[in-house]
A and B are shown apart, each in its own frame.
Chain A
Amino acid sequence: MTVFLIIVVVALLGVTFWQMSKILKLSKPAHHDSSQIANDKDNSTQGYLMLGFVIFLYILMFYSFWNWGDLYLPEAASAHGGDYDTLMFISIALIMFVQVITQFLLYFFAYKYRGEKGKKALFYADNDKLEFIWTIIPVIVLAGLIIYGLFTWSEIMNIEEDEDAMVVELYAYQFGWKARYSGEDNTLGKANVRFIEGVNVLGIDESDSYAMDDKITTELHLPVDKPVLFKFRSQDVLHSAYFPFFRAQMNVVPGMITQFSFTPTITSDEMRNSKFMVEKVEELNEIRREKSKELVANGDVALDPYEFDYYLLCNKICGISHFNMQMKIVVEEEEDFKEWIGEQATFGEGVEKQKEQQVTSNN
């Protein structure tokens, strides 16, 4: 019924517009310019609108930076993240500089040189010097950016194998994450999805002696200021391990192991109590309270207040629940980490337990 009504309303609106356009057409004086080609009046109106538009664009840009500039992520929580942010801010500053100038020139010229009957345009077809200037300037600026970028890139991506980084496997599946710590030997046991069975959900090779002390967890805990080497493995489709707070990301590809290494530098506690985060969380909870009022009024459950934690999310479309494939990350002091990891069961213990259970159930 609603659909039918809407169709009727739209049809009536259409008829109205049609009739209005007829009336407008009939009411036009006979000498009216109906060539549909811009005349001096149009040129002038549109010229002013061009000027108006560049002002709109400036206001929009200013408003966006003013209002949403603080949506940018908090201070990077990893060792390389600082370099990343510096490069980002330099690039944004440069871009906005060029943006402000070129957009001004474009729309200002459109306004200033709006057409008039009898005005002569300047026949100006070529100027090699000018062409050279605006070829060479981008060349120099971009060369600087490229060099800076590449140094940072190779620093981030080149992983020294002999470094004493803690090796952790991140295992992705539809739709969740598991972490596998390599244990005392700091070496991950071999694994392949073909070994998946029962308690061995990650497909670890039980015959590999490196495997027995591996620890599988559902939360990712990291000791602060210790380099971590992540090895990524996927069970099914492409995923992407995205650590926004650490300025780190790597795709997780079935059939191969990808890697990324970084050193977390700010503990979860420190981040939670930083000025930025305290204000942010306050604001978020204000929004959540408002929303909860609405929810409760509709008989739904209110939202829990939010407390900040680092998180890992999936950033490569991976299926229906792609939007909720996350893992909590805890960065903590080394002793806290040791305590936590000590409480986790090793893979070997898990296998033993399963065998025992099988024996009991067989008896």
Chain B
Amino acid sequence: MSATATATAAHDHHDHGDHGHHHKETFITKYIFSQDHKMIAKQFLITGLVMGTIGILMSILFRIQLAWPEESSWVFELFLGDKYATDGVMNPDAYLALVTIHGTIMVFFVLTAGLSGTFSNLLIPLQIGARDMASGFMNMLSYWIFFISSVIMLSSLFVESGPASAGWTIYPPLSALPEAIPGSGTGMTLWLVSMALFIAQSLMGSLNYIVTVINLRTEGMSMTRLPLTIWALFVTAIIGVVSFPVLLSAALMLIMDRSFGTSFFLSDIYIKGEVLAHQGGSPVLFEHLFWFLGHPEVYIVLLPALGITSEVIATNSRKPIFGYRAMVASILAIAFLSTIVWGHHMFVSGMNPFLGSVFTFTTLLIAIPSAVKAFNYITTLWKGNLQMNPGMLFSIGLVSTFITGGLTGIILGDSTLDINVHDTYFVVAHFHLVMGISALYGLFAGVYHWFPKMFGRMMNKNLGYVHFWITAIGAYGVFFPMHFIGMAGLPRRYYTNTNFPYFDDLADVNVLITVFAIITALVQLVFIYNFIHSIFYGRRATQNPWKANTLEWTTPVEHIHGNWPGKIPSVYRWSYDYSKLNKDETDYVIAGQDYIPQTVPLQENEEELNH
């Protein structure tokens, strides 16, 4: 009951707030330092896409090196220049820098900020019926700090000693000592500064999302009527608040070790003919701190994608999502378990084997809610009336890669089996499918689905189809074969495998993977073209193109600050009343219309269901 009361209070408050929304806006307040959540969402999305383009380009560069090791290429000359590609041959330090920055950019800047930042900002106020975020100013600040953080990360590519190159996990001592690898000089400092800012923006955003969801729901929008997107984004924000500060503390301690002579992570080190003064620290401590964020981070990336998928699949299947309560419960279970599984990244780190047993147990537990989600998606498709819009295709693709990638997690989560595949390409294949590709599919599904809401225009569906099918084939073509070279014992982060003749027969597989990767990357240009072209020339959208129930489709196509021109609508039902029949089962509840928006009160001819 209290939830409803709060919602009513919030509602009242907003009615009063209306007067404030009509002040004149300049170009700067509207497009640059905007406090409107819809504009901030677009800013996050576009920044994320730009970063994503850079991140994917990097992966293509090192894939070319892996397929044709130490061969000269004009591509390297063009992108890396003489310093990092002497005579057109990629240098080993450039290779390590590329894999490091590719990982960092994709995980944090694209899949955390680009995905969760975009859709939390866009959807939370719109789908819960709020005029804006709880704090528009903090929201603006969050974006601009993210922007600065991105600029710093990119600027680190141009420093003399090269960008950070100790892997995206930046394990010390390698990341702490410029003597150990050149990238651990200025490049690493910039990496740490950039990440500290990134964490600050993430916390600002997350706190804002949490407060908004708890306090600003419109009348009737109880927690159990929230669309699953909001549940996912809400829980994502909570995980972020719990785990990101731990990474910040690790980063700060690393900064102290690097610059102020402390020894949190360093001990007994002899390098370049000299013994260092550091004594008593432990790199394993860093691993614990890093993965205490690092693993929940997987779900920070994945849950928004799953939330988007739930909404897109239900809408396009013209069916309620199957097992709404089970879906919410599994989101909560995943969130809880995600914070107690970090040790499965450290089975062979030298920590006590007993801890390994505990983490195996918790890790395999997390497979249960994940399995429930996958089965529920499949059941939602069953006996639906599937509308194959591009967003729907990407959602189905997500379920597919989520299953494929998730299943191999059973091998990696098992401490015994991890011994021999740890840090091989098997791991790379696993996490790219389960969090990389799946989350990217979620991002694409969201963009195709909510593009009309963001830009008031439609994206071209045929280009969307081309984009999906080539991406789907390419992504499996890249990552399915990759499991096998991992099983052959091929370690990741090797500049070339030619020093081990035993790996010579893997060269063909590597070429195949690279060819698929290049095709997949190129077809993203179709998406970018479609995206930009549609912003300006796309067909104008109608108010509710997908015939969806959620509140965002009750707002006008033209964006206004405050979202709804008049009163905020009240909510009378959950968001999944698709194809609901009337009591006599003769027709839909609203005759001839297979959906009932949340703003429609309970009809006389329908049965009330408890979800």
- A residues lining the B interface (CB < 8 Å): 2-3, 6, 17, 34-38, 42-43, 45-47, 49-50, 53, 56-57, 60-61, 64, 68-69, 71-73, 84, 87-88, 91-92, 94-95, 98-99, 102-103, 105-107, 109-110, 113-116, 119-127, 130-131, 134-135, 138-139, 142, 145-146, 149-150, 152-154, 156-158, 174, 192-194, 196, 203, 232, 235-238, 240, 242, 244-245, 247-251, 253-256, 258, 280, 283-284, 287-288, 291, 303, 306, 308, 311, 313-324, 326
A193 to B268, CA, bound (A): 6
Cross-chain contact A38 with B388 (CB below 8 angstroms): yes
CB-CB nearest in chain B for A135: B372
Q: A38-B387, A49-B469, A315-B491 are in contact. Are A121 and B317 (CB under 8 A)?
A: yes
CB-CB nearest in chain A for B279: A255
Query: What are 19 A-to-B residue pairs whose CB atoms are below 8 Å?
Result: A6-B78, A88-B417, A95-B407, A95-B408, A95-B410, A114-B388, A121-B319, A122-B579, A123-B579, A142-B367, A193-B268, A235-B269, A237-B174, A254-B283, A255-B282, A287-B505, A287-B507, A315-B423, A320-B181
- Indicate if B609 sits at the interface (CB-CB under 8 A): yes
> Please, which residues of chain A bring their CB within 8 A of the CB of B323?
125-127, 130-131
Cross-chain contact A109 with B381 (CB below 8 angstroms): yes
- Partner pick for B411 among A95, A116, A119, A152, CB 8 A cutoff: A95
Question: Among the interface residues A135, A291, A320, which one has the most CB atoms of the partner chain B within 10 A?
Answer: A320
A38 to B322, CA, bound (A): 23
A255 to B319, CA, bound (A): 58
Cross-chain contact A113 with B382 (CB below 8 angstroms): yes
State how many angstroms separate the Cβ of B294 from the closest Cβ of chain A.
15
Within 8 A of A (CB), among B303-319: 317-319
Cross-chain contact B506 with A71 (CB below 8 angstroms): yes
State how many angstroms separate the Cβ of B597 from the closest Cβ of chain A.
16
Q: A43-B388, A130-B379, A284-B501 are in contact. Are A250 and B348 (CB under 8 A)?
A: yes
> Please, which residues of chain A bring their CB within 8 A of the CB of B171?
238, 316-317
Cross-chain contact A317 with B96 (CB below 8 angstroms): yes
Known: A95-B411, A123-B580, A149-B415. 15 other contacts (CB 8 A): A3-B74, A43-B388, A84-B416, A103-B403, A113-B381, A115-B384, A123-B579, A145-B414, A174-B271, A194-B270, A236-B271, A238-B173, A247-B420, A255-B280, A284-B504
Choose the segment among B34-42, B119-127, B354-362 that binds chain A (4+ C-beta atoms closer than 8 Å): B354-362
Q: Annotate B574-611 by CB proximity to A: 1 below 8 A, 0 otherwise.
A: 00101111000000000000100000000000000101
- Indicate if B31 sits at the interface (CB-CB under 8 A): no
- Partner pick for A253 among B282, B376, B384, CB 8 A cutoff: B282
Q: Annotate B444-468 by CB proximity to A: 1 below 8 A, 0 otherwise.
A: 0000000000000011110001000
Cross-chain contact B353 with A154 (CB below 8 angstroms): yes
| Interface range, B side | 35 or more
- Partner pick for A34 among B177, B322, B377, B539, CB 8 A cutoff: B539
Ranked 10 nearest A-B pairs via Cβ: A255-B267, A244-B489, A46-B388, A258-B350, A157-B353, A36-B458, A193-B270, A68-B484, A122-B383, A323-B494
A324 to B93, CA, bound (A): 14
- Indicate if B556 sits at the interface (CB-CB under 8 A): no
- Indicate if B509 sits at the interface (CB-CB under 8 A): yes
CB-CB nearest in chain B for A277: B502
- Partner pick for B275 among A194, A313, A320, CB 8 A cutoff: A194
A132 to B504, CA, bound (A): 49
Choose the segment among B6-14, B145-153, B253-261, B470-478 that binds chain A (4+ C-beta atoms closer than 8 Å): B470-478
State how many angstroms separate the Cβ of A310 from the closest Cβ of chain B.
10
> Please, which residues of chain A bring their CB within 8 A of the CB of B506?
71
- Indicate if B396 sits at the interface (CB-CB under 8 A): yes
- Indicate if B389 sits at the interface (CB-CB under 8 A): yes
Cross-chain contact A110 with B404 (CB below 8 angstroms): no
State how many angstroms separate the Cβ of A206 from the closest Cβ of chain B.
16
- Partner pick for A238 among B174, B318, B502, CB 8 A cutoff: B174
Cross-chain contact B283 with A113 (CB below 8 angstroms): no
> Please, which residues of chain B bring their CB within 8 A of the CB of A139?
368
> Please, which residues of chain A bring their CB within 8 A of the CB of B353?
153-154, 157-158
> Please, which residues of chain B bring their CB within 8 A of the CB of A247?
419-420
State how many angstroms separate the Cβ of B474 from the closest Cβ of chain A.
11
State how many angstroms separate the Cβ of B225 from the closest Cβ of chain A.
13
- Indicate if B113 sits at the interface (CB-CB under 8 A): no
- Indicate if B166 sits at the interface (CB-CB under 8 A): yes
Q: A60-B477, A99-B404, A283-B505 are in contact. Are A47 and B386 (CB under 8 A)?
A: yes
